[in-house]
A and B are shown apart, each in its own frame.
Chain A
Amino acid sequence: MYELVCIGASWGGLHAIGQVLSDIREEVDQPIVIAQHRHPDSTSSTLPDLLAQQIQRPVADVEDKMPIERRHVYVAPSDYHLLVEKGSLALSVDERVQHARPSIDVLFESAADAYGPGVIGVILTGANQDGAAGLARIKASGGVAVVQDPAGAARRSMPDAAIAATVADAILPLEDIGRFIYGLCVEPAAERTT
């Protein structure tokens, strides 16, 4: 049974994340944790606010040691790394990883450490390599690796790097990702896409 969905995005990610979350149907009650590269100075909680307008789930700009609750969506605050512990979330201000804080690799690797095969990792559009190592770790720990089809991505470097780093379980156009996650979480047999 999957316990956690992790999504990483960079350039073009605001739109892509909105689309994926809108497509994940109500019945999916797994928590969803998001690392989206943001400008360090973006003090306002833009992404959580935007998401809260688009979807019905509770959306939180993460605070340290926040408990992980079902159905909730958690967004990494700008200029912090977001890490997953068993049952709660943690923040760090350690050095940027590949110029990024939050780093998608840091989120994904910690999620794999905490929840092993219970993690679904999703890499969306982005103009760098972040998330590739993290997705590989999720896959190596028995979780599921999902990548947006680079051909249709606003920026394809990040999906390309993820596909090169691991054997993805699914490479999908943006509009099919939400349905695929629903399939994994709720309706296993019917929705297999790959």
Chain B
Amino acid sequence: MTSVEPSQAARSAPRDDLEDLELELLLEGVFRRYGFDFREYAPASLRRRIWRRVHAEGLSSMSALLDKLLHDPATMERLLLDLSINVTAMFRDPTFYVAFREKVVPVLRTYPFARIWIAGCSTGEEVYSLAILLREEGMYERTRLYATDINESVLERAREGVFPLEKMQEYTNNYIRAGGTRAFSEYYVAAYDGAQFDRALVENVVFAQHNLASDRSFNEFNAIVCRNVMIYFDKTLRDRVHGLFHESLSSFGILALGHKESIRFSRFERHYEELDAAEKLYRKVS
């Protein structure tokens, strides 16, 4: 088809097919040995994260990693961290928090008591950000936040609420642009090499292990925040999680997704109206 024929050998080599097979076997092995189901995760990111673990273990193939995983639960714990820590920041996307103050909080005020689910909370940056926002809006005492993640050790870190001191400049900057009304430094004290956040911020937070891929709905919520979590899922799993959220939202409950996620093309699209299109805030209408 073309005059440029770079390395015929590479073209015919089935290396990639072999890697697909190794990946599939690894995911199957992890599921059957440990019960963690990553088989419906988005393959491109998953592949990168698994390769990172292969190299970190001093190995050279996914099959070698599978062998080690099957015989050594400690390796599985490390892989689980690799696959379940979603990198985030306090007040990431400040405009989202501005919109949350202006458009979601007024809705929450109409309830005597509000429940918010932060699904896939990872190490908790978003939980503390929302807690701060709700407190500044005078809503914290009337709210319970449910922060869930698949990974217990990640949740433990979220409970502790210690974030790296060197991040505080970035977070302060985000906080100001997010419409923060106080001094950000009021919310933490420097301890060792970390910033320990005010324990009062998590008084109304329930941290719990929950697997979006396999667990059921566990309450009814006025808002669900799930930002940049489903980008790691394939379409099938994402749609199933959308079903779980739809089932878990109260009438007129609000769903918050990441800036570059959308419920367009999902079969739940027609059940929501846009509360803020750019900030990906949706309101359940049916």
Query: Which residues of A approach B to under 8 Å, CB–CB?
Result: 1-2, 43, 62-65, 77, 80-81, 83-85, 88, 90-95, 106, 109-110, 113-114, 116-117, 139-145, 169, 183-184, 188-189, 192
Query: Which residues of B approach A to under 8 Å, CB–CB?
Result: 1-4, 6-7, 10-11, 13, 15-16, 19, 42-45, 47-49, 86-88, 95, 228, 230-232, 235, 238, 258-262, 265
Asked, given contacts A80-B260, A85-B44, A110-B48, whether A192 binds B10 with beta carbons under 8 Å apart, the answer is no
The 8 Å CB contact of A93, one of B6, B48, B49, B87, is B87
Q: Contact check, A139 vs B3: say whether CB atoms are below 8 A apart.
A: no
Residues of A within 8 A of B258 (CB): 64, 93
The 8 Å CB contact of A113, one of B1, B2, B47, B260, is B47
Max chain A Cβ within 10 angstroms of own Cβ: one of B16, B86, B235, B238: B16
Residues of A within 8 A of B6 (CB): 117, 139, 142-145, 169
The 8 Å CB contact of A64, one of B1, B48, B260, is B260
* Interface Cβ pair total, 8 Å cutoff: 99
Asked, given contacts A64-B260, A77-B259, A92-B232, whether A139 binds B7 with beta carbons under 8 Å apart, the answer is yes
A146 (CB) vs chain B CBs: closest residue: B4
Q: Contact check, A117 vs B44: say whether CB atoms are below 8 A apart.
A: no
Residues of A within 8 A of B265 (CB): 65
Q: Contact check, A85 vs B43: say whether CB atoms are below 8 A apart.
A: yes
Q: Contact check, A90 vs B231: say whether CB atoms are below 8 A apart.
A: yes
CB distance from A97 to the nearest CB of B (A): 9
CB distance from B65 to the nearest CB of A (A): 17
Q: Contact check, B87 vs A64: say whether CB atoms are below 8 A apart.
A: no
Q: Contact check, B262 vs A83: say whether CB atoms are below 8 A apart.
A: no
The 8 Å CB contact of A188, one of B2, B45, B87, B230, is B2
Asked, given contacts A94-B48, A110-B48, A189-B3, whether A85 binds B42 with beta carbons under 8 Å apart, the answer is yes
B15 (CB) vs chain A CBs: closest residue: A141
Q: Which 5 A-B pairs have the closest CB atoms?
A: A83-B44, A142-B11, A142-B10, A110-B44, A188-B2
Could you list some 11 contacts between A and B, CB below 8 A? A1-B2, A63-B261, A64-B231, A64-B261, A92-B45, A93-B88, A113-B16, A116-B16, A141-B15, A169-B6, A189-B3
B88 (CB) vs chain A CBs: closest residue: A93
The 8 Å CB contact of B231, one of A2, A93, A116, A139, is A93
CB distance from A129 to the nearest CB of B (A): 18
Q: Contact check, B48 vs A91: say whether CB atoms are below 8 A apart.
A: no
Residues of A within 8 A of B88 (CB): 93
A80 (CB) vs chain B CBs: closest residue: B260
Q: Contact check, A184 vs B260: say whether CB atoms are below 8 A apart.
A: no
CB distance from B31 to the nearest CB of A (A): 21
Q: Contact check, B260 vs A62: say whether CB atoms are below 8 A apart.
A: yes
Residues of A within 8 A of B238 (CB): 65
Q: Contact check, B44 vs A93: say whether CB atoms are below 8 A apart.
A: no
User: Complex: how many Å from CA A95 to CA B123?
Assistant: 14
The 8 Å CB contact of A114, one of B7, B44, B48, is B44
Residues of A within 8 A of B262 (CB): 63-64
User: Complex: how many Å from CA A92 to CA B2?
Assistant: 34
User: Complex: how many Å from CA A169 to CA B2?
Assistant: 13
